Chains A and B, each alone.
Chain A
Amino acid sequence: MARPTSFGKDTGLQARMLLTMFLLGLVYVVFMGVLFAAGAGVITIVLFAGVLFAVQLFASDKLALRSMGAKVVSPAEAPELHAMIERLCIQADLPKPKIAIADTPMPNAFAMGRSKKSATVCATTGIMNLLSPTELEGVMAHELTHIANRDMVIMTVASFFASVASMITQFGFFFGGGHSQSDDDGPGFLVVVLVSMVVYVISFMLMQALSRYREFAADRGAAVITGRPSGLASALMKISNVNERIPQQDLRAASEMQAFFISPVGKSVAGLFATHPPMEKRLAALQRLESQLQGQRMASIPA
């Protein structure tokens, strides 16, 4: 009967992702234990962070769009982009997100929103001018995959305890170990600060790793949706070439947005601290998908 569809599985990627999430969870459980043992003062910080977390989850998409100067556009304002995304949504079986355009020459795209229904994808005028329709389609499919995979929620949840740890660390630096007046029926404040520092460093690295795996998954998803791995590969090459040439000045404003971009801007931070995998690795992964697609087909042609 019908042959299997175009692409196989990537069990390795899923295994690494699962392991990272497991480790992150483990770090957080230990951290929680220490916090509870330390008593009330720290609990207040956690509650405070919880409120921040909720704000981040519910408002960050609007804040991000505003900080990028992005404007939601109607089908009449951007007919081609709307039509392109509508077709990708049929193919990916997703509801149509809101579509925004940011008027900046920096070629980039990002997706925001905590659910499929409330999502927004944004493209800059720079990327729309730079890429061919096929390439832009690859980029948009990558962003749609982020939405479908709920990457924004997953990364926000993953970063929650890291931000708590960072808050406690900063709190510790400001107030020193000065007020250790309480009796020692639990770990002292200094211990909590030290643990927080360690938790922050470890969870930060794990989060960046998780972010890179989600990027690989989104690249893969784009290839599966469009059936054109090389289209996205060619888009990534064009974008990274241009982004390396753009002066640093423009980029500082955008640094907080890095994690959500299709491609990071400015000088890349290597290895463990990067939110995005290195370009060569992304291109190599897409190349593997293309060979998978082509190779399977070559083999299936009757001699």
Chain B
Amino acid sequence: MKAIGMFLLASLVALLLRSTVLAALAARGVVIDVLVLATVTWSLRQRDAWGATFGFVLGLAADLDASHWLGRHALALTLLGYGVGRLSNTLVRDSPLTQLVLIALATALHQIWVTAFDATAGVQQLPWFAGRVLLATVTTAPIGVLLLLLTRLLRRRGGYGNASGTSAAG
């Protein structure tokens, strides 16, 4: 029950941030991919099945918020949630470096997928395409790691544990 409550709360916060503060920031060129951030965080903590479910629900809500391409975010975030969840079984999930790489990779993949729907013509769009993906990746990954560190400090408990599944946070 607590997990479901957290699930709903995390989705709500991510979507709310995306439609208010982050929308204004994104228009100024600072794209923080909060959908990926939330999905990766959730998947690191709750593993693959819950990660995929969270990604699907969050993605579907984001797709409904958009005017077109229903299923675009849902597909990408489902696969990312599942992938990160599976990887979390074999990684030291508390390591900031691991988190940085995971968030950066996930953001880059998500942005490539999403941006591909906006691309309408040939190779002349490649610099714009690469710039947008890179910008989102370099802003989202460090912010994500900082947020995870901050959350851990505030909770005054261990983080996600490691590959053996000995999670101090449960």
A, B in one complex: no
Seen from chain A, the residues whose Cβ lies within 8 Å of a Cβ on chain B are none
Seen from chain B, the residues whose Cβ lies within 8 Å of a Cβ on chain A are none
